[in-house]
Amino acid sequence: MAVVNLFMSDRDPSKRTFTSKAEADALDKKLELAENLQAFLEKQLPELDEQLGERISLLFAEHKDAVAQAFKGKADELLAIDVPVEDDKVRAIGKRG
């Protein structure tokens, strides 16, 4: 019988597992960024719908490199993104407790 190490993110409510710690860590960092972005948006825009806030924060977390480049003056980087974020990825943002 073979033993396989599996890794997962505490923030991922779907409890996906990875065979690589680096993949699990990357997901954890992305979800942490999305959670913090959502908290920032909710604080700054109290009228923002929670679901829309989740979608926006996940969008920024999914495309953080392009967004960072845009803030550095390369705004065209954002126009190169044409793949929409899937709705099931929105559910990957855990609820803050």
Residue at 66 is within a domain: yes
Residue at 72 is within a domain: yes
Q: What is the CATH number of the domain that holds 38?
A: 1.10.10
**What range does the domain containing 62 cover?**
32-90
Does the pTM surpass 0.75? The reply is no
Residue type present at position 17: T
Residue at 11 is within a domain: no
Residue at 57 is within a domain: yes
Residue at 14 is within a domain: no
pLDDT tens digits for 2-58? 888 888 887 777 778 888 889 888 888 999 999 999 999 999 999 999 999 999 999
Residue at 50 is within a domain: yes
Residue at 76 is within a domain: yes
Nearest Cα neighbor of 53 from 70, 66, 40, 68 is 40
Residue at 19 is within a domain: no
Which conformational region is residue 71 in: left (phi greater than 0), alpha (psi within -120 to 50 degrees), or beta? Answer: alpha
Number of domains making up the chain: 1
